[in-house]
Amino acid sequence: MQDYLVRVTSKDGLLRGMAAVTTGIVAEVCQKQQTDITATVALGRLLTGGVLLGCLLKGKQRLAVMVEGNGPLGKLSVETDAAGRVRGTIRNPIAGLPPKDGRFDVAGAIGRAGFLHVWKDLGLKDPYQSMVQLQTSEIAEDLAWYLTSSEQIPSSVSLGVELDNEAQVAAAGGLLVQSLPPGDEQQVEHIIRRLQQLPPVTSLLRNGTFPEQILSQVFGEVDFGIQQRVPLEFYCPCHEEQIEAMLRAMGAGELKQLVKEQEQVEVVCEYCRSRYQFDSARINFWLNESLD
């Protein structure tokens, strides 16, 4: 099943739902980041959560979600846009934690104390920024708390990453359901009951259930319409000119020190792991340009 996301809205406009399959993206990003099994599940959940939030963007708007706790993983970051393009990185890809109570110890790997940061570029003068304390460090509950407390939209979030016997990503995906104002209490209670009865999203995906079908199971007799389907892909916009501009911005003093210490400067993108190399002759050319 190809990675994609579906967004639906109930006919009365009081409920909104998003479901996504992210198996390919999670596998690709975690392979680039060289994560261990617990880090794979943690980063995979945040990638999926970022994609779900990103589907509410429009045009050229962008979004970044960051989780930073006091656990061994350090900082996890995900960036996405309205077109379904996403990338992610993790400070320490090796959690080194055994399963706890039969589950991957994501909360222990992230740390019980920390913050969830959300940054949005909405095309305005200043970006929107928000920060909330981590509630469970399981990521899904933390995103739900952010949406409910900061954006004032009661939300339920479900995120999952399932690994096979060889510790490879077998299924990844997520679900986001929101109650929109003025809200309908009976309808919300109906959705809550159905969410409680729903099998894990990854189990549904492994059984061949499509995102549209997952949303049908959640909404039940509540009539809804599909608003959009968005293909999802890993995308990193880094390029050589961007890296060159970053190096030039370091200033002549630091560049001279780099050339003195090494014949070739190598910069590795933290997201896609692309390597950019600049020899001393090229850097000296920049320095001479700045003197002219």
Residue 175's CB: how many other CB atoms inside 10 A?
Answer: 25
Strands 62-69 and 114-121: antiparallel
5 and 201 Cβ atoms separated by less than 8 Å? no
Q: Token match 């379904």: residue?
A: 84
Do 225 and 264 fall within a single domain? no
C-alpha distances in angstroms, 20 versus 10, 217, 231? 18, 14, 10
State if pTM tops 0.85: yes
Do 222 and 80 reside in the same domain of the chain?
yes
In the three-class reduction of DSSP (H, G, I as helix; E, B as strand; rest coil), residue 176 is classed as strand
| Host domain of residue 94 | 4-234
Looking at the 3D structure of the chain, how many domains does it have? Answer: 2
If asked whether residues 64 and 152 sit together in one domain, one would say: yes
Residue 252's Cβ-side half-sphere holds a number of Cα atoms within 13 Å equal to: 7
> What is the DSSP secondary structure assignment for residue 56, as one 8-state letter?
T
Q: Is residue 160 located within the same domain as residue 228?
A: yes
pLDDT number for residue 261: 82
Range 31-34, long-range pairs (CB < 8 A, 24+ positions)? 32/271, 32/272, 32/273, 33/88, 33/89, 33/90, 33/93, 34/93
Select from 237, 231, 246 the least CA-distant residue to 283: 246
For residues 94 and 191, membership in a common domain is answered with: yes
Q: What is the pLDDT of residue 98?
A: 84
Per-residue pLDDT of the chain (292 residues; tens, 9 = 90+): 899 999 999 999 999 999 999 999 999 999 999 999 999 999 999 999 999 999 999 989 999 999 999 999 999 999 999 999 999 999 999 999 988 888 999 999 999 899 999 999 988 878 889 999 999 999 999 999 999 999 999 999 999 999 999 999 999 999 999 999 988 888 888 899 999 999 999 999 999 999 999 999 999 989 999 999 999 999 999 999 999 888 888 878 888 888 778 888 889 999 999 999 988 888 888 777 764 4
CATH number of the domain residue 31 falls in: 3.55.30.10
| Beta strand pairing call for 169-179 and 155-163 | antiparallel
Residue 118 confidence (pLDDT): 97
What tens digit of pLDDT does each residue of 71-81 get? 999 999 999 99
Q: What is the pLDDT of residues 128-167, one digit of tens each?
A: 899 999 999 999 999 999 999 999 999 999 999 999 999 9
Q: 244 and 230 share a domain?
A: no
User: Tokens standing for 20?
Assistant: 């996504």
pLDDT, residue 283, reads: 81
- C-beta of residue 49 within 8 angstroms of C-beta of residue 80: no
The alpha carbon of 260 is separated from its chain's Cα centroid by a whole number of angstroms, namely: 39
Phi, psi of 291 (to 5 degrees): -85, -20
Give the per-residue pLDDT at 290: 63
